[in-house]
């Protein structure tokens, strides 16, 4: 490929654009991971992560993609044949289910049409049926990256409590952490699973487990084999800022910088920014005359929007045209949504003008591909962004 001027628009819903500050931080000499400077950095990072997960519990960091952190959550807490309750909200929830099956767990699946999140009433009903408390864990994907649907975690927690059930509560926040409000402690989550390559604005390669006291206690009697993923050695070493095996040192430099950036902006502002961009994107989709895949407005995702193609038009053909003409990558339809939807990622290091460029690329691509639409999406989004900016300016003036 010859050089293309300007920056590529990486608007898939993760990995996301890595800010220059983070790239510069990664671009430093690798240090001794057993030396004193490393221990100081480790402790700083563990503290910073707690703020992002809104927890006082320990956060385990793996040099792995998100799939590794899924496996760590299961193998640390469960025993062969244990029953787990899972909700098939989309492609990623199905992959987690398949993994649980391969690990020898007995998975009870609650299906959905991939257009809505976990139904808290179904959580309560399933757990109330389980009078013997055979279900050992309830696993939920907070933000289903394949569909653009965000499940209501606080409501799911309430449902578990309403059923009076002792199952562990495990939540995948891979495409919600540091973009959509998420509260490990307040929402009574036992194991949170997360990854580096989305809201944390890092390259892929790190993943996380946040471990509640209950999960840690359960892990002491859990029988699934584990070695690399074992929490105990990790937590023992992490106390002084170190790791039991070679950590991904340069990614940790990047993580320290990303945590500083999130702290400078302030988490509530980070969440509000994502909410603003998501709302502007949805207004654009409706103004184009296209349909949003998520069928439940209170479950709209603030990190990505999956857009349904009109009948007879292929989403991947549109994505190809947009990549070739405008150098922008959009998310493909995954699993049974292949060809039927494209996904606009609006998360991570992203501002109003990045969104404007992204939506302009989609609108021009729809025209180039001959997809029927109205040329009103970008305008609708810009109006919303301007309205929000006017509101911010007015409240600054009043303060």
Ligand X SMILES: Cc1ncc(COP(=O)(O)O)c(C=O)c1O
- In the complex, the residues that contact ligand X under the rule CB under 6 A are 14, 65-67, 92, 141, 145, 172, 174-175, 195, 204
Q: Are 126 and 110 in contact (CB under 8 A)?
A: yes
Q: How far is the CB of 383 from ligand X (least distance, A)?
A: 31
Q: How far is the CB of 93 from ligand X (least distance, A)?
A: 8
Q: Are 105 and 128 in contact (CB under 8 A)?
A: no
Q: Taking phi first (over 0 means left), then psi (-120 to 50 degrees means alpha), and beta for anything else, what does residue 245 get?
A: beta
Complex with ligand X: residue 84 or 321, whichever CB lies closer: 84
Q: How far is the CB of 171 from ligand X (least distance, A)?
A: 10
Complex with ligand X: residue 151 or 249, whichever CB lies closer: 151
Complex with ligand X: residue 22 or 163, whichever CB lies closer: 22
Q: How far is the CB of 106 from ligand X (least distance, A)?
A: 21
Helix (H) or strand (E) holding 136: strand 135-141
Q: Closest by alpha carbon to 159, among 109, 125, 201, 210?
A: 125
What is the spatial distance between Cα 300 and Cα 306, in angstroms, rounded to a whole number? Answer: 10
Look at the block and give the residue holding tokens 């990623």. 92
Q: How far is the CB of 388 from ligand X (least distance, A)?
A: 27
Beta bridge partners of 137: 84, 168
Q: Closest by alpha carbon to 288, among 385, 359, 386, 388?
A: 359
Complex with ligand X: residue 65 or 332, whichever CB lies closer: 65
Complex with ligand X: residue 176 or 219, whichever CB lies closer: 176
What is the spatial distance between Cα 238 and Cα 222, in angstroms, rounded to a whole number? Answer: 22
Complex with ligand X: residue 15 or 58, whichever CB lies closer: 15
Classified as helix, coil or strand, 3 is coil
Beta bridge partners of 375: none
Q: How far is the CB of 105 from ligand X (least distance, A)?
A: 17
Complex with ligand X: residue 176 or 352, whichever CB lies closer: 176
Residue whose C-beta lies closest to ligand X: 66
What is the spatial distance between Cα 286 and Cα 293, in angstroms, rounded to a whole number? Answer: 12
Q: How far is the CB of 173 from ligand X (least distance, A)?
A: 8
Q: How far is the CB of 95 from ligand X (least distance, A)?
A: 7
Beta bridge partners of 144: 149
**Up-side HSE of residue 37: CA atoms within 13 Å toward CB?**
7
Complex with ligand X: residue 73 or 322, whichever CB lies closer: 73
Q: Are 72 and 231 in contact (CB under 8 A)?
A: yes
């Amino acid at each position: 490929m010859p050089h293309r001027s300007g920056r590529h628009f990486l608007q898939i819903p993760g990995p996301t654009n890595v800010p220059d500050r983070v790239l510069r931080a990664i671009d430093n000499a690798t240090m001794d991971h057993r030396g004193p400077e490393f221990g100081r950095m480790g402790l700083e990072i563990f503290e910073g992560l707690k703020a992002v997960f809104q927890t006082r519990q320990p956060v385990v960091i793996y040099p792995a993609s998100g799939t590794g952190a899924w496996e760590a959550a299961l193998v640390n807490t469960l025993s062969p044949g244990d029953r787990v309750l899972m909700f098939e909200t989309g492609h990623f929830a199905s992959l987690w289910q398949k993994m649980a099956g391969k690990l020898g767990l007995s998975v009870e699946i609650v299906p959905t049409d991939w257009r809505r999140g976990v139904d808290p009433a179904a959580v309560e009903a399933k757990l109330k049926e389980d009078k013997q408390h055979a279900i050992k864990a309830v696993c939920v994907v907070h933000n289903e990256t394949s569909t653009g649907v965000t499940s209501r975690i606080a409501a799911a927690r309430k449902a578990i409590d309403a059923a009076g059930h002792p199952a562990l509560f495990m939540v995948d926040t891979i495409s919600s952490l540091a973009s959509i409000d998420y509260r490990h402690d307040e929402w009574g989550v036992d194991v949170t699973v997360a990854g580096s390559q989305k809201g944390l604005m890092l390259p892929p390669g790190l993943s996380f487990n946040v471990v509640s006291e209950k999960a840690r206690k359960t892990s002491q009697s859990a029988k699934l084999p584990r070695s690399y993923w074992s929490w105990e050695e990790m937590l023992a070493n992490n106390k002084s800022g170190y790791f039991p095996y070679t950590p991904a040192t340069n990614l940790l430099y990047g993580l320290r910088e990303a945590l500083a950036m999130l702290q400078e902006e302030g988490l509530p502002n980070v969440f509000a920014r994502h909410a603003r961009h998501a709302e502007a994107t949805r207004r654009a989709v409706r103004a184009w005359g296209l349909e949003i895949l998520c069928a439940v407005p209170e479950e709209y995702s603030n990190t990505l929007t999956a857009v349904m193609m009109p009948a007879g038009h292929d989403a991947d053909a549109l994505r190809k045209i947009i990549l070739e003409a405008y150098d922008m990558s959009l998310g493909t339809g995954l699993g049974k949504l292949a060809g039927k939807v494209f996904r606009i990622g609006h998360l991570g290091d992203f501002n109003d003008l990045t969104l404007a460029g992204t939506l302009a690329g989609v609108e021009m691509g729809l025209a180039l591909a001959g997809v029927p639409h109205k040329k009103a999406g970008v305008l609708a989004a810009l109006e919303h962004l301007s309205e929000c900016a006017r509101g911010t300016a007015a409240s600054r003036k009043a303060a």
